[in-house]
Amino acid sequence: MQAWPNVGDFRGGALESALVVTVLSVDPSRPDLRALSPAAGAMRLGGLVAFPTETVYGLGAHARDAASVARVFAAKGRPADNPLIVHLHAAHHLTDVTTLVTPLALALAERWWPGPLTIVLDADPTLPAETTGGLPTVAVRVPDHPVALALLAAADVPVAAPSANRSGRPSPTTAAHVLADLGDAVDYIVDGGTCRVGVESTVVDARGAVPIVLREGAVTREALGLDPDPGDAPTGDTAASPGTRYRHYAPDCAVEVAAVGAGAAVAARHAEEGRRVGLLGPDPAPEGIVGLARTPDAAALARALYDALRAAETAGLDLVVIEAVASVGLGRAVMDRVHRAAAG
């Protein structure tokens, strides 16, 4: 366990606050329950704890503690009508936060949990409006990460957890990303290494007989047995899903999407104009271009995207060129994030 200075402590090079955030470093494959105990206890009592999942790091609060959940919104600068995902350590706790677990929800949970699939159901009316975004529904999942599962089990409460970053920023896939954005606003950061998937969960409305995708994510339409063309699929109320209505994933530099096969050429053209350029693509970066990551396929781009965007900021780049991947399967979710980042 270590205490890292808050990022706010050193703004302008001067010590402005004596506050510190406690960082718990744990083995991501075999987490020590004793090491996680302080963070779990803090969460039960209203504290904010950032922790790793298979997708991105989450910022956790007791889902039934309205004041604690309000701290999440304040820390992130998140719009109050943007609902949170409630994280559970086991599927049987669905009945703790919903009024009706449909046969479809049971089937999806059995197939995909623990995993990067979030299920939207009718909310238990005793859940705080802060958790549900004032909606009659609740979004729920069981994450597929040993550290997250151990922490959730130790806390033994439902945990509302959006991504652990300032709203609008690239999502965090390392503890260092969390520290950079929220180090002055959280009680604990559980460092469980780098998230292995790198993009957020798929969100589906499971209140009917067929899942309706509200947000593309790590579980593809094809894997769910759905029509891969979103234009031909039934539509639902995307307001019930986090991450669909507001600015997301944007770094403090410009982002341009290049066509498949054109990334290096587009980056080189901008560099010739005197811009400091970074590249994400399958090929080596040309001379004078910062190679942020080699991304030969959608899975590689998913893992690298958010870290690369943050690295571009740190390096003071003017522009990040991202070579597209085909918008099929996981590529559909990844390109959704890429285009949102480019939109700024």
Query: pLDDT tens digit string along 129-142?
Result: 999 999 999 999 99
183 and 288 co-located in one domain: no
Same domain (yes/no): 268, 198: no
For 48, 57, 236, 262, the CA distances from 182, given in Å and listed in that order, are 10, 12, 32, 36
Q: Which of 196, 216, 240 is the last residue of a domain?
A: 240
pLDDT (0 to 100) of residue 244: 59
Residues 50, 3: Cα–Cα separation, whole Å? 14
Q: Do 194 and 128 share a structural domain?
A: yes
Distance CA 125, CA 270 (A): 54
Q: State the pLDDT at residue 47.
A: 97
Q: In this structure, what CATH number is given to the domain that contains residue 317?
A: 3.40.50.11030
Mean of all residue pLDDT scores within the chain: 91
pLDDT in tens, 285-333: 999 999 999 999 999 999 999 999 999 999 999 999 999 999 999 999 9
Residues 36 and 82 in one domain: yes
Do residues 86 and 212 both lie within one domain?
yes
Shared domain for 54 and 202, answered yes or no, is yes
Both 13 and 76 in one domain: the answer is yes
Phi, psi of 188 (to 5 degrees): -135, 145
- Asked if 128 and 176 sit in the same domain, the reply is yes
Assigned domain for 246 exists: no
> Which is higher by pLDDT, 76 or 4?
76
The number of distinct structural domains making up the chain is 2
Same domain, 115 and 194: yes
Whether residue 135 is found in the same domain as residue 184: yes
Report percent pLDDT > 90 for the chain. Answer: 85
pLDDT at position 250, please?
Answer: 84
Mean pLDDT of 45-64: 98
Would 34 be classed as within a structural domain?
Answer: yes
What is the pLDDT at residue 232?
56
User: Residue 233 has what pLDDT?
Assistant: 55
Residue 47 lies in a domain: yes
pLDDT of 235 above 70: no
Confidence of residue 213 (pLDDT cuts 50, 70, 90): very high
Report the CATH number that the domain containing residue 37 is assigned in CATH: 3.90.870.10
Instruction: Give percent of the chain with pLDDT exceeding 70.
Output: 90
Last residue of a domain, one of 211, 240, 269: 240
Last residue of a domain, one of 240, 268, 293: 240
d(CA 344, CA 342): 5
Tell me which residue range forms the domain holding 295. Answer: 254-343
Question: How long, in residues, is the chain?
Answer: 344
Classify residue 248: in a domain, yes or no.
no
Residues 91 and 200 in one domain: yes
Mean pLDDT of 47-51: 98
pLDDT band at 20 (very low <50, low <70, confident <90, very high): confident
SS3 track for the chain? CEEEECHHHHHHHCCCCCCEEEEEECCCCCCCHHHHHHHHHHHHCCCCEEECCCCCCEEEEECCCHHHHHHHHHHHCCCCCCCCEEECCCHHHHHHCECCCCHHHHHHHHHHCCCCEEEEEEECCCCCHHHHCCCCEEEEECCCCHHHHHHHHHHCCCEECCECCCCCCCCCCCHHHHHHHHCCCCCEEEECCCCCCCCCCEEEECCCCCCEEEECCCCCCCCCCCCCCHHHCCCCCHHHCCCCCCCCCCCCCEEEEECCCCHHHHHHHHHHCCCCEEEEECCCCCCCCEEEEECCCHHHHHHHHHHHHHHHHHCCCCEEEEECCCCCCHHHHHHHHHHHHHHC
Asked if 258 and 183 sit in the same domain, the reply is no
In a domain, residue 200? The reply is: yes
In terms of pLDDT, which residue wins out, 245 or 95? 95
